[in-house]
Chains A and B, each alone.
Chain A
Amino acid sequence: MSRVVLSDQCFVKEPIVLDKPAADFTAEAYYRGQRVDVKLSDFRKKWVILFFYSNDFTFV
C-alpha cells in the first residue's frame, strides 16, 4: 500500500522558500525491476534531484 509520511515542514499553504529543510517522506517506488520503499532522508549526505513529472508514458 502506498503511504506518504511527511514531517511538519510542508509548503502546502506557502510558496517554496529556498534553504529550508525538505520535508521527509516515504513512498513506494519501482527501482531496477523491484518494488521498494524510498525514504528521502535515506539520501542525506548526497545531493538529491527531485524530478516531478505528470504521467508515465508522457515523460520528458
Chain B
Amino acid sequence: MADHYEEFVQLGAEVLAISTDSVYSHKIFAQVSPSARKVQYPLLSDPTNEISKCYGAYNPETGSASRTTLIISPDGLIKFFCKYPRPVGRNVLEIIRVLQALRFSETTGLGAPAGWMPGQPGIQRDWNMVGRI
C-alpha cells in the first residue's frame, strides 16, 4: 500500500490504515519495520474494536480486524467493501483500479464493465442495451 500511496493522492484519495494496536505500537512499527517505514498516511488506533465492528471488519475469533478495505466517496458514502482471507494479502492495484472506475463512472455517467482498465470505454446502463451486450 505504501508503495502506491502517491497514486492514491493523485486520484484525490487519502489512506487511513487502522488496527487495534495503540499509537505507541504504531510509532515503533513505523520506525522499525522496513515495510512500514515507507508509510506516509495515518495509522489509526481502534483499541476497543468499535470502528472495526461498525465497519464490518471485526473478527470475533481473533479479537482484531480482518484484512478489510472500504472506499468512501467525497460525499461520505461507502462505495466499496472487501474482506480478504487471513493468509492472503491484498492487491492494492485492484483497489486503485476500483477507485479509478468509480471516478470514471462519476464523471461520465457510464458503468465500468468487468475487467475495466483506465482508457477503456464505459458501458451504458440502459434498458435498451439489454440483449445487445
> DSSP majority for the B interface?
mixed
Which of B23, B62, B68 has a CB less than 8 Å from the CB of A52? B68
**A36, A44, A52 interface centre (most CB from chain B within 10 Å):** A52
Docked Cα-Cα span, A28 to B45, in Å, equals 6
Q: Is the CB of A30 within 8 A of B26?
A: yes
Q: Is the CB of B1 within 8 A of A35?
A: no
Q: Is the CB of B35 within 8 A of A59?
A: yes
Which of B12, B23, B57, B66 has a CB less than 8 Å from the CB of A47? B12
Q: Is the CB of B62 within 8 A of A50?
A: no
Q: Mark B38-61, 1 if CB is under 8 A from A, else 0.
A: 001111111110111111110100
Which residues of B come within 8 Å of A, CB atoms?
1, 8, 11-23, 25-30, 33, 35-36, 40-48, 50-57, 59, 62, 64-81, 89-90, 95, 99, 102-103
Which residues of A come within 8 Å of B, CB atoms?
2, 4, 6, 10-12, 15-23, 25, 27-32, 35-36, 38, 40-41, 43-57, 59-60
Q: Is the CB of A52 within 8 A of B55?
A: yes
Which residues of chain A come closer than 8 Å to B42, judged between CB atoms? 29-31, 36, 38
Docked Cα-Cα span, A51 to B44, in Å, equals 10
Docked Cα-Cα span, A36 to B44, in Å, equals 9
Q: Is the CB of A18 within 8 A of B16?
A: no
A7's nearest neighbour on chain B, judged by CB, is B54
Q: Is the CB of B76 within 8 A of A6?
A: no
Which residues of chain B come closer than 8 Å to A38, judged between CB atoms? 16, 42, 44
Q: Is the CB of A48 within 8 A of B14?
A: yes
Docked Cα-Cα span, A45 to B70, in Å, equals 16
